[in-house]
Chains A and B, each alone.
Chain A
Amino acid sequence: MELRTFGRDIAHIDLAARTWEMRPAPEDWVRSYIGGRGLGVRYLLEAGPEVEALSPSNVLCFMSGPLTGSEASMSGRWVCVTKSPLTGTVTDSHQGGWSGARLRWSGFDGLVFEGRASAPVYAFIEDGRIELRDASDLWGKNIHETIRILQERYGEKDLSVNAIGSGGENQVRFAAWLNEDDRAFGRGGTGAVGGSKNLKAIVVRAGKKKSQVGDPDGWKAARSRALDGIRDENNLTSPRKGGLSIYGTNVLMNIANTIGALGTRNSQFTAFGDRAEKISGEYVDQHLRVGKPTCHACPVACKTEVEVKEGPWAGLRMESVEYEPAWSLGANCDNDDAAAIIKLIDQCNDLGIDPIELGNAFSMWMEATEKGWVPEGQGLAWGDTQAMVALTEDVAARQGVGKALSEGPAMAAAGLGHPEIAMAVKGQALPAYDPRGLKGMGLGYATSNRGACHLRAYVAAAELGVVPIEADPLEWRGKGELVKVFQDLHAFSDSLDLCKFSAFAEDAEVYAAQYASAMGIEFGSDDVMLAGERIYNLERHYNNLAGVPADTLPARFTEEASTEGGSKGHVSELSEMLVEYYAARGWEDGVVPNAKLEELGIR
């Protein structure tokens, strides 16, 4: 059996009626929006931007891309697209591992869940068929146990299980989906949308299939070129030699600390001093690493399997200590205990909640406690890891103080009467790069279509000197055009759907060659950038129609100067950068004008 060319096998699942049917994506949608993120957003627009995120009218799209599950390197990605209950924006969240590949191998390019089941169900998918099965015995169980039960029921061979935990069931606004215990559709609250639909899990069983491509010779050459770039020993992706491959994403901890871009104590400070080393990728590699797992078709293997050796959580084994949660639950909360961070990440993976959002909720509450704004008996001290562990359970259960924090730091801070201490954009919490130390990243956060997000633009690749583009992180001039280009390129790679890290080794030309040969069409690097721009504008158009607020950053980053590191004394010049950015986009104060929609063929 071979994989069919992308776009024909989209399943529409009516949860209320417990029926499904296969409908090919309209050809012009596939041509215009590629797959993955772009195609998912197009389906979301069809459901209406005014839809309530946690109502049955919202749709929950799980989309693969034209390269997902293929022989292309780093092609184990797929995406969940829905309207976010956290931000009210479109949201797309990507996941690695094998579940996206197995979806394609099972005969589907995408799943569009509509409506709400009257009782808990899970989807069992195999050989081109979908069955909605009773999940009443699984409801109330967290993710690790749910996955274990389903693995016992169906066997582990060729099986992927995506599940929500109590976070999703209780509709925590930043609930996530996890597959195989550790890999998340992490951001934006996609798990809460699953919970609102009584959808507990998606189980896919499928063996590997070879790609059916339009241009086999071109396909082989394009993949080979991409792989050569990934393996280049000068590249951070180089297997077992590059920094990303050896230390994983947490290799960023020390460099962010050095340059003054490591938000500390809810971003009141910009570095964590010598304590950053204790939660860094280098420390984890030396003291806690026990394995190096990877995803489908990925030679980089950036994941780090760890085991806690001593203390209250001795014996806990999990993957992976990524930079984002190591920061959000670490320096951001004044916590330098790597074992506690591992425990907290594992809790998030089991309960099904986003650790970036959780860490920001904690740090906001800690600052509020410090300032005397929290009712007596409800405070949380900086770095109190035992209290953080206990409160994580309460957040997922939406009880006690956890109930307020389950709304996310933006809503919780507003509830205290101090919205200014929520480090969030459009309701979604900031990731691990302080906008005063990496100014392009700050503009990327402000203009992200899913709320604060490091991955929509990721100009850090240029600002940290990884890709050969001159981009001083403390210079704001030129960042408007740069952020636009990165956003458009990543909108395309997210639609293929290739791992974001492929961009450290591949450019638009390499992406175009792989896509063109897979589909058997003419497609060049200019087409890559145009498709990316179209997708980015489609998302913004959705947000405009949904009434999403303006592009901004918390005042802390524009008014309070960086305290330490290379960025000391700097603030984010967001207003100036936005002028540049809107000019590059052709937008009017953040709104896509009709002329731009027509130019890009968005209907």
Chain B
Amino acid sequence: MKLTFHATLRPVVGERTLDIALPPGATVATLIEILVERWPGLSEHLQAEQGELSRRVNVFVAGRNARWLDGAATALDGVAEVDFFPPIAGG
């Protein structure tokens, strides 16, 4: 799976993209746990109350915001790309 970090999340990870292999049955919550373990600085951006997505991040699974799918429980089996964005808007 290809992960892409955007805007203010990119300097925290130090990379624009990275490849990662997830165990079968992994969800967005699983992925966030793995990422926070590797980059503790992501914790304040990605982690919220148990089972919920933080308002400080928008996780896009194959181009769809997980918020409109199953949230943190969104399944990642067979997903090729996940993008991480902080809250973003503008003109």
Contacts and interface: CB of A to CB of B under 8 A. Distances in A.
Contacts of A236: 86-89
B28 to A, nearest CB: 14
B86 A501 contact: no
Given A455-B91, A465-B65, A246 B60 contact: no
Interface string A263-306: 00000000000000100011000000000000000000010000
Nearest to A462: B89
B39 to A, nearest CB: 18
> Secondary structure of the B side of the interface?
loop
Contacts of B65: 259, 465, 472-473, 566
B8 interface: yes
Nearest to B61: A566
B80 interface: no
Given A243-B8, A464-B58, A472-B68, A249 B63 contact: no
Interface in A243-257: 243-244, 246-252, 254-255
A243 B88 CA distance: 6
A504 interface: yes
Interface string B45-81: 0000000000110101011110110000000000000
A251 B63 contact: no
Nearest to B66: A465
A259 B7 contact: no
A255 B85 contact: yes
Contacts of B68: 472-475
B20 to A, nearest CB: 18
Contact of A324 (B16, B88, B89, B91): B91
Q: How large is the interface on B (under 10, 10 to 19, 20 to 34, 35 or more residues)?
A: 20 to 34
Contact of B7 (A247, A454, A455, A464): A247
A37 to B, nearest CB: 16
A252 B10 contact: no
Contact of B89 (A259, A466, A468): A466
A252 B63 contact: no
A15 interface: no
The interface centre, meaning the residue of A236, A249, A455 with most chain B CB atoms within 10 A of its CB, is: A236
Contact of A235 (B10, B60, B83, B87): B87
The interface centre, meaning the residue of B16, B55, B86 with most chain A CB atoms within 10 A of its CB, is: B86
Interface in A475-533: 475, 500-501, 504
Contacts of A461: 89
Given A243-B7, A243-B86, A322 B60 contact: no
Contacts of B91: 249, 322-324, 454-455, 500-501
A260 B63 CA distance: 7
A466 B60 contact: no
Nearest to A250: B90
Contact of B10 (A241, A282, A454): A282
A302 B4 CA distance: 24
Contacts of B87: 234-236, 242-243, 464-466
A400 to B, nearest CB: 32
Contacts of A501: 90-91
Contact of A259 (B16, B60, B86): B60
B89 A566 contact: no
Given A235-B87, A251-B88, A322-B91, A258 B63 contact: yes
A565 interface: yes
A568 interface: yes
A322 B90 CA distance: 9
A322 B87 CA distance: 18
Contacts of B83: 254-255, 258
Nearest to A281: B7
Interface string A554-577: 000000000001111000000000
A517 B68 CA distance: 40
A255 B58 CA distance: 10
A143 B86 CA distance: 37
Given A255-B6, A255-B85, A258-B83, A249 B90 contact: yes
A251 B62 CA distance: 19
A140 B4 CA distance: 49
Contacts of B58: 255, 464-465
A254 B86 contact: no
Nearest to A475: B68
Given A246-B7, A277-B16, A324-B91, A468 B55 contact: yes
Given A468-B55, A568-B63, A504 B89 contact: yes
B43 to A, nearest CB: 14
Nearest to B69: A472
B45 to A, nearest CB: 10
Contacts of B55: 234, 465, 468
A379 B74 CA distance: 48
A241 B63 contact: no
Contacts of B85: 243, 254-255, 258
B74 to A, nearest CB: 13
B63 A244 contact: no
Contacts of A473: 65, 68
B9 to A, nearest CB: 9
A322 B91 CA distance: 8
B8 A252 contact: no
A242 B8 contact: yes
21 contacts: A234-B55, A235-B87, A236-B88, A236-B89, A243-B7, A246-B8, A248-B90, A249-B91, A254-B6, A259-B60, A259-B64, A259-B65, A282-B16, A454-B91, A464-B58, A464-B88, A473-B68, A501-B90, A501-B91, A566-B62, A566-B65
Given A249-B90, A249-B91, A251-B88, 14 more contacts: A234-B56, A234-B87, A241-B8, A243-B7, A251-B90, A252-B89, A255-B88, A258-B4, A258-B85, A458-B89, A464-B89, A465-B65, A473-B68, A566-B64
8 nearest A-B pairs in the assembled complex, by CB-CB distance: A566-B63, A249-B90, A472-B68, A243-B7, A566-B64, A466-B89, A565-B63, A466-B87
Interface of B: 4, 6-8, 10, 16, 55-56, 58, 60, 62-65, 67-68, 83, 85-91
Interface of A: 234-236, 241-244, 246-252, 254-255, 258-260, 277, 281-282, 302, 322-324, 454-455, 458, 460-461, 464-466, 468, 472-475, 500-501, 504, 565-568
